Protein backbone atom coordinates (compact mmCIF):
# COMPACT_ATOMS: atom_id res chain seq x y z
CA UNK A 1 0.00 0.00 0.00
CA UNK A 2 1.47 3.34 -1.11
CA UNK A 3 1.86 6.29 1.26
CA UNK A 4 -0.17 9.50 1.22
CA UNK A 5 1.69 12.30 -0.56
CA UNK A 6 0.80 15.97 -0.20
CA UNK A 7 2.33 18.35 -2.73
CA UNK A 8 2.52 21.74 -1.00
CA UNK A 9 2.47 24.80 -3.27
CA UNK A 10 2.69 28.33 -1.82
CA UNK A 11 0.94 30.86 -4.07
CA UNK A 12 1.06 34.63 -3.98
CA UNK A 13 -0.86 36.39 -6.75
CA UNK A 14 -0.37 33.44 -9.08
CA UNK A 15 -3.58 33.66 -11.15
CA UNK A 16 -1.52 33.65 -14.35
CA UNK A 17 0.14 30.32 -13.71
CA UNK A 18 -2.36 28.37 -11.60
CA UNK A 19 -4.58 26.99 -14.40
CA UNK A 20 -1.59 25.39 -16.13
CA UNK A 21 0.18 24.45 -12.88
CA UNK A 22 -2.89 22.71 -11.47
CA UNK A 23 -3.47 20.82 -14.74
CA UNK A 24 0.12 19.57 -14.85
CA UNK A 25 0.26 18.72 -11.14
CA UNK A 26 -3.00 16.80 -11.29
CA UNK A 27 -1.74 14.81 -14.26
CA UNK A 28 1.52 14.06 -12.45
CA UNK A 29 -0.05 13.07 -9.16
CA UNK A 30 -2.59 10.82 -10.91
CA UNK A 31 0.32 9.20 -12.69
CA UNK A 32 2.15 8.62 -9.40
CA UNK A 33 -1.00 7.07 -7.92
CA UNK A 34 -1.43 4.78 -10.93
CA UNK A 35 2.17 3.63 -10.66
CA UNK A 36 1.71 2.78 -7.00
CA UNK A 37 4.10 5.50 -5.78
CA UNK A 38 1.41 7.48 -3.93
CA UNK A 39 -1.88 6.58 -2.28
CA UNK A 40 -5.27 7.65 -3.66
CA UNK A 41 -5.71 9.97 -0.70
CA UNK A 42 -2.79 12.07 -1.95
CA UNK A 43 -3.49 15.74 -2.55
CA UNK A 44 -2.16 18.92 -4.08
CA UNK A 45 -2.32 21.55 -1.33
CA UNK A 46 -2.29 25.13 -2.59
CA UNK A 47 -1.47 27.69 0.09
CA UNK A 48 -2.82 31.13 -0.69
CA UNK A 49 -0.44 33.59 0.94
CA UNK A 50 -2.86 36.52 1.17
CA UNK A 51 -3.13 37.07 -2.58
CA UNK A 52 -4.95 40.13 -3.82
CA UNK A 53 -5.88 38.66 -7.22
CA UNK A 54 -8.19 35.72 -8.04
CA UNK A 55 -5.80 33.05 -6.70
CA UNK A 56 -8.06 31.94 -3.84
CA UNK A 57 -11.23 31.76 -5.93
CA UNK A 58 -9.33 29.60 -8.41
CA UNK A 59 -8.25 27.27 -5.57
CA UNK A 60 -11.84 27.08 -4.31
CA UNK A 61 -13.13 26.21 -7.78
CA UNK A 62 -10.44 23.57 -8.23
CA UNK A 63 -11.31 21.98 -4.90
CA UNK A 64 -14.99 21.87 -5.82
CA UNK A 65 -14.29 20.30 -9.19
CA UNK A 66 -11.84 17.64 -7.97
CA UNK A 67 -11.03 16.48 -4.46
CA UNK A 68 -7.39 15.96 -5.41
CA UNK A 69 -7.01 19.73 -4.88
CA UNK A 70 -6.92 21.07 -1.33
CA UNK A 71 -6.58 24.67 -0.26
CA UNK A 72 -5.27 26.65 2.64
CA UNK A 73 -5.85 30.36 2.95
CA UNK A 74 -3.67 32.54 5.16
CA UNK A 75 -5.30 35.57 6.72
CA UNK A 76 -2.77 37.88 5.01
CA UNK A 77 0.50 37.89 3.11
CA UNK A 78 3.20 36.43 5.37
CA UNK A 79 5.91 35.70 2.80
CA UNK A 80 6.99 32.55 1.03
CA UNK A 81 8.71 30.84 3.98
CA UNK A 82 5.78 31.28 6.36
CA UNK A 83 3.29 30.17 3.71
CA UNK A 84 5.36 27.09 3.01
CA UNK A 85 5.62 26.27 6.72
CA UNK A 86 1.84 26.71 7.13
CA UNK A 87 1.28 24.24 4.29
CA UNK A 88 3.78 21.72 5.62
CA UNK A 89 2.45 21.86 9.18
CA UNK A 90 -1.12 21.38 7.95
CA UNK A 91 -0.11 18.50 5.69
CA UNK A 92 1.86 16.88 8.52
CA UNK A 93 -1.26 15.52 10.18
CA UNK A 94 -2.78 14.31 6.90
CA UNK A 95 0.13 12.95 4.88
CA UNK A 96 2.92 10.40 5.25
CA UNK A 97 5.18 12.47 3.05
CA UNK A 98 5.19 15.95 1.49
CA UNK A 99 6.94 17.60 -1.43
CA UNK A 100 7.14 21.41 -1.59
CA UNK A 101 7.49 23.26 -4.87
CA UNK A 102 6.87 26.69 -6.41
CA UNK A 103 3.62 27.60 -8.14
CA UNK A 104 5.38 28.73 -11.32
CA UNK A 105 6.64 25.16 -11.91
CA UNK A 106 10.25 26.25 -12.23
CA UNK A 107 10.95 23.05 -10.34
CA UNK A 108 10.77 20.13 -12.75
CA UNK A 109 7.88 17.90 -11.59
CA UNK A 110 9.17 15.12 -13.86
CA UNK A 111 11.53 14.22 -10.98
CA UNK A 112 8.74 13.45 -8.51
CA UNK A 113 9.02 9.69 -9.19
CA UNK A 114 12.69 9.82 -8.26
CA UNK A 115 11.87 11.74 -5.06
CA UNK A 116 9.32 9.07 -4.08
CA UNK A 117 11.68 6.20 -4.91
CA UNK A 118 14.33 7.71 -2.62
CA UNK A 119 11.67 8.09 0.07
CA UNK A 120 10.71 4.41 -0.21
CA UNK A 121 14.43 3.61 -0.03
CA UNK A 122 14.39 5.09 3.45
CA UNK A 123 15.24 8.78 2.98
CA UNK A 124 13.37 11.14 5.31
CA UNK A 125 14.47 14.24 3.41
CA UNK A 126 15.23 14.47 -0.30
CA UNK A 127 16.69 17.74 -1.63
CA UNK A 128 16.01 18.91 -5.17
CA UNK A 129 19.34 20.23 -6.42
CA UNK A 130 19.73 22.28 -9.58
CA UNK A 131 21.99 20.61 -12.11
CA UNK A 132 22.88 23.96 -13.69
CA UNK A 133 21.84 27.59 -13.56
CA UNK A 134 21.79 28.38 -17.28
CA UNK A 135 18.23 29.75 -17.13
CA UNK A 136 19.29 32.36 -14.53
CA UNK A 137 20.58 35.83 -15.27
CA UNK A 138 24.32 36.39 -14.80
CA UNK A 139 23.67 38.47 -11.69
CA UNK A 140 21.47 35.80 -10.05
CA UNK A 141 24.03 33.07 -10.82
CA UNK A 142 26.94 35.08 -9.49
CA UNK A 143 25.12 36.29 -6.36
CA UNK A 144 23.85 32.78 -5.53
CA UNK A 145 27.33 31.30 -5.89
CA UNK A 146 28.94 34.02 -3.77
CA UNK A 147 26.25 33.66 -1.13
CA UNK A 148 26.62 29.87 -0.80
CA UNK A 149 30.39 30.21 -0.44
CA UNK A 150 30.03 33.00 2.10
CA UNK A 151 27.57 30.93 4.17
CA UNK A 152 29.97 28.02 4.10
CA UNK A 153 32.79 30.21 5.38
CA UNK A 154 30.50 31.42 8.17
CA UNK A 155 29.97 27.78 9.15
CA UNK A 156 26.30 27.53 8.07
CA UNK A 157 25.41 24.21 6.46
CA UNK A 158 23.15 24.69 3.45
CA UNK A 159 22.80 22.41 0.42
CA UNK A 160 24.49 23.90 -2.62
CA UNK A 161 22.03 24.88 -5.39
CA UNK A 162 19.01 23.75 -3.39
CA UNK A 163 16.05 26.06 -2.82
CA UNK A 164 12.75 24.81 -1.40
CA UNK A 165 12.01 21.93 -3.77
CA UNK A 166 12.22 19.05 -1.31
CA UNK A 167 10.56 15.96 0.03
CA UNK A 168 10.01 15.51 3.75
CA UNK A 169 8.61 12.51 5.59
CA UNK A 170 6.12 12.98 8.39
CA UNK A 171 8.84 12.15 10.91
CA UNK A 172 11.06 14.93 9.56
CA UNK A 173 8.11 17.37 9.61
CA UNK A 174 7.39 16.51 13.23
CA UNK A 175 10.97 17.42 14.07
CA UNK A 176 10.66 20.65 12.07
CA UNK A 177 7.58 21.57 14.09
CA UNK A 178 9.82 21.64 17.19
CA UNK A 179 11.82 24.54 15.73
CA UNK A 180 10.04 27.48 17.29
CA UNK A 181 11.82 30.37 15.60
CA UNK A 182 9.93 33.23 13.99
CA UNK A 183 12.64 34.28 11.53
CA UNK A 184 12.38 31.46 9.03
CA UNK A 185 15.12 30.28 6.70
CA UNK A 186 13.93 26.76 5.96
CA UNK A 187 16.83 25.72 3.75
CA UNK A 188 19.17 26.36 6.67
CA UNK A 189 16.90 24.79 9.31
CA UNK A 190 16.09 21.53 7.57
CA UNK A 191 19.67 20.20 7.28
CA UNK A 192 19.79 20.53 11.10
CA UNK A 193 17.14 17.78 11.39
CA UNK A 194 19.45 15.02 10.19
CA UNK A 195 18.08 11.51 9.38
CA UNK A 196 18.86 9.75 6.11
CA UNK A 197 18.82 12.25 3.26
CA UNK A 198 19.14 12.08 -0.51
CA UNK A 199 19.36 14.44 -3.46
CA UNK A 200 17.68 14.57 -6.85
CA UNK A 201 19.20 16.65 -9.64
CA UNK A 202 16.90 18.65 -11.90
CA UNK A 203 17.01 21.44 -14.44
CA UNK A 204 15.16 24.55 -13.37
CA UNK A 205 12.78 25.91 -15.98
CA UNK A 206 11.74 29.47 -16.66
CA UNK A 207 8.65 30.81 -14.87
CA UNK A 208 5.47 29.57 -16.65
CA UNK A 209 3.83 33.02 -16.66
CA UNK A 210 3.52 36.14 -14.53
CA UNK A 211 6.39 37.90 -12.81
CA UNK A 212 8.67 36.96 -9.92
CA UNK A 213 7.28 37.49 -6.42
CA UNK A 214 10.87 37.75 -5.15
CA UNK A 215 12.17 41.16 -6.24
CA UNK A 216 15.75 42.15 -5.36
CA UNK A 217 14.68 43.82 -2.11
CA UNK A 218 13.03 40.61 -0.83
CA UNK A 219 15.96 38.53 -2.06
CA UNK A 220 18.50 40.62 -0.15
CA UNK A 221 16.43 40.58 3.01
CA UNK A 222 16.07 36.78 2.69
CA UNK A 223 19.84 36.43 2.24
CA UNK A 224 20.47 38.45 5.40
CA UNK A 225 17.86 36.34 7.22
CA UNK A 226 19.94 33.28 6.39
CA UNK A 227 23.10 34.79 7.81
CA UNK A 228 21.71 36.43 10.93
CA UNK A 229 19.43 33.52 11.89
CA UNK A 230 22.20 30.97 11.79
CA UNK A 231 25.40 32.51 12.95
CA UNK A 232 26.68 35.21 15.28
CA UNK A 233 30.06 35.21 13.56
CA UNK A 234 29.63 38.74 12.10
CA UNK A 235 29.66 40.03 15.68
CA UNK A 236 32.86 38.10 16.32
CA UNK A 237 34.41 39.53 13.15
CA UNK A 238 33.62 43.03 14.41
CA UNK A 239 35.31 42.25 17.70
CA UNK A 240 38.39 40.95 15.90
CA UNK A 241 38.35 44.00 13.63
CA UNK A 242 38.12 46.24 16.70
CA UNK A 243 41.15 44.49 18.20
CA UNK A 244 43.22 44.84 15.03
CA UNK A 245 42.23 48.50 14.67
CA UNK A 246 43.28 49.16 18.26
CA UNK A 247 46.69 47.69 17.56
CA UNK A 248 47.15 49.79 14.42
CA UNK A 249 45.98 53.01 16.07
CA UNK A 250 48.43 52.44 18.93
CA UNK A 251 51.27 51.99 16.43
CA UNK A 252 50.01 55.12 14.63
CA UNK A 253 50.05 57.08 17.85
CA UNK A 254 53.62 56.06 18.63
CA UNK A 255 54.60 57.01 15.05
CA UNK A 256 52.91 60.42 15.29
CA UNK A 257 54.59 61.19 18.57
CA UNK A 258 57.99 60.23 17.13
CA UNK A 259 57.35 62.45 14.04
CA UNK A 260 56.37 65.34 16.29
CA UNK A 261 59.69 65.16 18.03
CA UNK A 262 61.53 65.07 14.69
CA UNK A 263 62.33 68.21 12.66
CA UNK A 264 59.75 67.63 9.81
CA UNK A 265 56.53 67.92 11.79
CA UNK A 266 53.17 66.69 10.42
CA UNK A 267 49.64 67.95 9.84
CA UNK A 268 47.81 66.95 12.99
CA UNK A 269 44.62 68.47 11.65
CA UNK A 270 44.23 66.03 8.73
CA UNK A 271 45.13 63.04 10.83
CA UNK A 272 42.54 63.96 13.46
CA UNK A 273 39.83 64.52 10.90
CA UNK A 274 40.32 61.25 9.05
CA UNK A 275 40.60 59.31 12.30
CA UNK A 276 37.32 60.73 13.58
CA UNK A 277 35.48 59.74 10.42
CA UNK A 278 37.05 56.32 10.36
CA UNK A 279 36.41 55.45 13.98
CA UNK A 280 32.92 56.96 13.80
CA UNK A 281 31.84 54.82 10.88
CA UNK A 282 33.38 51.73 12.40
CA UNK A 283 31.41 52.29 15.58
CA UNK A 284 28.20 52.85 13.66
CA UNK A 285 28.72 49.61 11.78
CA UNK A 286 29.39 47.70 14.97
CA UNK A 287 26.40 49.16 16.78
CA UNK A 288 24.19 48.44 13.78
CA UNK A 289 25.25 44.83 13.68
CA UNK A 290 24.70 44.32 17.38
CA UNK A 291 21.32 46.01 16.98
CA UNK A 292 20.33 43.51 14.29
CA UNK A 293 20.81 40.63 16.68
CA UNK A 294 19.14 42.38 19.58
CA UNK A 295 16.17 43.09 17.30
CA UNK A 296 16.02 39.47 16.27
CA UNK A 297 16.08 38.30 19.87
CA UNK A 298 13.23 40.70 20.58
CA UNK A 299 11.16 39.18 17.77
CA UNK A 300 11.86 35.64 18.94
CA UNK A 301 11.05 36.40 22.57
CA UNK A 302 7.59 37.63 21.59
CA UNK A 303 6.74 34.21 20.11
CA UNK A 304 4.09 35.61 17.83
CA UNK A 305 2.24 33.13 15.62
CA UNK A 306 4.08 32.72 12.35
CA UNK A 307 0.88 32.57 10.34
CA UNK A 308 -2.88 32.54 10.85
CA UNK A 309 -5.06 30.20 8.83
CA UNK A 310 -8.35 31.59 7.64
CA UNK A 311 -9.79 28.57 5.85
CA UNK A 312 -8.92 24.98 4.98
CA UNK A 313 -10.43 23.08 2.09
CA UNK A 314 -9.61 19.40 2.54
CA UNK A 315 -11.97 16.46 3.14
CA UNK A 316 -9.50 14.47 5.24
CA UNK A 317 -8.96 17.51 7.46
CA UNK A 318 -12.73 18.01 7.90
CA UNK A 319 -13.25 14.34 8.80
CA UNK A 320 -10.44 14.45 11.30
CA UNK A 321 -11.91 17.56 12.93
CA UNK A 322 -15.38 16.00 13.40
CA UNK A 323 -13.78 12.81 14.66
CA UNK A 324 -11.78 14.66 17.33
CA UNK A 325 -14.65 16.91 18.45
Phi-psi group of 194: left, alpha or beta (phi > 0 → left; psi -120 to 50 → alpha; rest → beta): left
Give the binding range for ligand UDP (CB under 6 A) out of 59-67, 102-110, 116-124, 143-151: 102-110
Q: Which of 14, 60, 108, 314 binds ligand UDP (CB under 6 A)?
A: 14
Alpha carbons within 13 A on the beta-carbon side of 285: 13
> Quick one: what does residue 79 bind among ligand UDP, Mg ion, none, with the CB cut-off 5 to 8 Å set by partner type?
ligand UDP
**Alpha helices of 42-137 — where are they, by DSSP H?**
55-65, 80-92, 112-120
Residues in contact with Mg ion by CB under 5 A are: 102, 104, 106
Give the binding range for ligand UDP (CB under 6 A) out of 7-15, 86-94, 120-128, 234-242: 7-15
Q: Which of 6, 12, 115, 230 binds ligand UDP (CB under 6 A)?
A: 12
Bridge partners of 127, per DSSP, are 166, 199
Q: Which of 107, 90, 102 lies closest to 43 in space, CA to CA?
A: 90
Least distance (Å) from ligand UDP to the CB of residue 270? 48
Give the binding range for ligand UDP (CB under 6 A) out of 11-19, 173-181, 277-285, 310-318: 11-19
Least distance (Å) from Mg ion to the CB of residue 214? 7
Buried b (16+ CB within 10 A) or exposed e, 78-104: bbbbbbbbbbbbbbbebbbbbbbbbbb
Nearer to ligand UDP, 205 or 275 (CB): 205
- What is the spatial distance between Cα 33 and Cα 41, in angstroms, rounded to a whole number? 9
Using the rule CB under 6 A, is 104 a contact of ligand UDP?
yes
Least distance (Å) from Mg ion to the CB of residue 213? 7
Beta-carbon count within 10 A of 125 CB: 25
Using the rule CB under 6 A, is 204 a contact of ligand UDP?
no
Please name the helix (run of DSSP H) or strand (run of DSSP E) that holds residue 8, with its range, or none.
strand 5-11
Q: Which of 5, 11, 173, 186 binds ligand UDP (CB under 6 A)?
A: 11
Q: Which residues contact 178 (CB under 8 A, 6 or more apart)?
A: none
Q: Which residues bind ligand UDP (CB under 6 A)?
A: 10-12, 14, 49, 77, 79-80, 83, 102-104, 106, 212-214
Amino acid sequence: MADILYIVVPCYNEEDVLPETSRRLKEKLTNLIEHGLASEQSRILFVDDGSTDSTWSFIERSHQSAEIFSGLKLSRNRGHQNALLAGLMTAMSLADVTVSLDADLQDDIGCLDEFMEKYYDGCDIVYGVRADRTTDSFFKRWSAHTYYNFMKKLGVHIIYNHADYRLMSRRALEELSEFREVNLFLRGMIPLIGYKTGTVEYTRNKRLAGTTKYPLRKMLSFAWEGISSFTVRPIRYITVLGGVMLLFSMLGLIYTLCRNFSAEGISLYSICLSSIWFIGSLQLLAIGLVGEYVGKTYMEVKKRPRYIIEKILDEAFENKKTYIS
